[in-house]
């Protein structure tokens, strides 16, 4: 079974991935809403910008994060001055890298589900006396929920698998930024590390599988024949 060190790696990965998708979810939803329903100049540009981490080499994304979050960088400087903190070589930095990489997948899934919501149902809600806020909370959001779940799962899986952006942004620090993929990579470099590789790889696969099944079950419980898978 897993050693204490390996459990540490697994728990760190879950923490990094979980914090990443939960922190990014509001932003992903807002962007998905803008792209699904908004009409504004520069929409195509925003669309492309959101999808950039999906197509740019992850190492480049990580390098850009490094520039931004370094003590001399625009965001890193503010963090340093206002809060006296840095995210470099920290798990919080790994979460930022994972979140940025997960964002496009989450936006895509949520956007598709928002576009699939029948706006005639929203019109019906309005004619029944519901204002925009109640219409959103009681009609739009429940109908888009399977997509939001799918976005969370996809994003979480992507965050768990994040390698390139993480290693170039916050390096490979055991106990801080060494998540599952980085640990597997490290173990591969060590003679006799195959056993650890096998165990960590099995955990990666099992986690992704459980997340997929779990979200599918939740989507079924919310009913109406909706699916994540």
Interacting residues with other proteins (CB under 8 A): 120-121, 123-131, 138-139, 142-143, 222-225
Q: Which residues of 202-221 are buried (b: 16+ CB within 10 A; e: fewer)?
A: ebbeebeeebbeebbeebee
Closest separation in Å from C-beta 33 to other proteins:
19
Nearer of residues 11 and 116 to other proteins, judged by Cβ: 116
Of 39 and 120, the one with the shorter C-beta distance to other proteins is 120
The minimum distance between CB 120 and other proteins, in angstroms, equals: 6
Q: Which is nearer to other proteins, 3 or 222 (CB)?
A: 222
- Min separation Cβ 219 and other proteins, Å: 12
Q: Which of 53, 77, 86 is nearest to 173 (CA)?
A: 86
Q: Output 50 or 219, the one with its CB closest to other proteins.
A: 219
- Minimum CB separation of residue 148 from other proteins in Å reads 14
Q: Which is nearer to other proteins, 35 or 114 (CB)?
A: 114
The CB-of-226 to other proteins minimum distance in angstroms stands at: 9
């Amino acid at each position: 079974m897993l050693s204490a060190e390996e459990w540490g790696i697994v728990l760190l990965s879950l923490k990094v991935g979980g914090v990443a998708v939960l922190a990014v979810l509001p932003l992903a939803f807002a962007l998905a809403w803008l792209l699904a329903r908004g009409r504004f100049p520069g929409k195509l540009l925003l669309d492309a910008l959101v999808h950039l981490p999906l197509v740019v080499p992850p190492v480049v994304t990580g390098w850009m994060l490094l520039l931004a979050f370094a003590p001399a960088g625009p965001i890193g400087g503010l963090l340093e001055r206002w809060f006296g903190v840095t995210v470099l070589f920290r798990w919080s930095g790994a979460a930022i890298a994972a979140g940025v990489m997960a964002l496009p997948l989450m936006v895509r899934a949520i956007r598709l589900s928002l576009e699939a919501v029948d706006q005639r149902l929203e019109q019906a809600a309005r004619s029944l006396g519901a204002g925009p806020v109640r219409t959103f909370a009681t009609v739009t959001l429940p109908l888009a929920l399977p997509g939001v779940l799918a976005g969370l799962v996809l994003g979480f899986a992507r965050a768990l698998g994040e390698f390139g952006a993480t290693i170039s942004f916050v390096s490979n620090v055991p106990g801080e930024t060494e998540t599952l993929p980085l640990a597997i990579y490290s173990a591969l470099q060590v003679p006799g590390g195959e056993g650890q590789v096998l165990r960590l790889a099995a955990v990666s696969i099992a986690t992704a599988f459980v997340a997929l099944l779990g979200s599918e079950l939740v989507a079924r419980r919310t009913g109406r024949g909706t699916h994540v898978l």
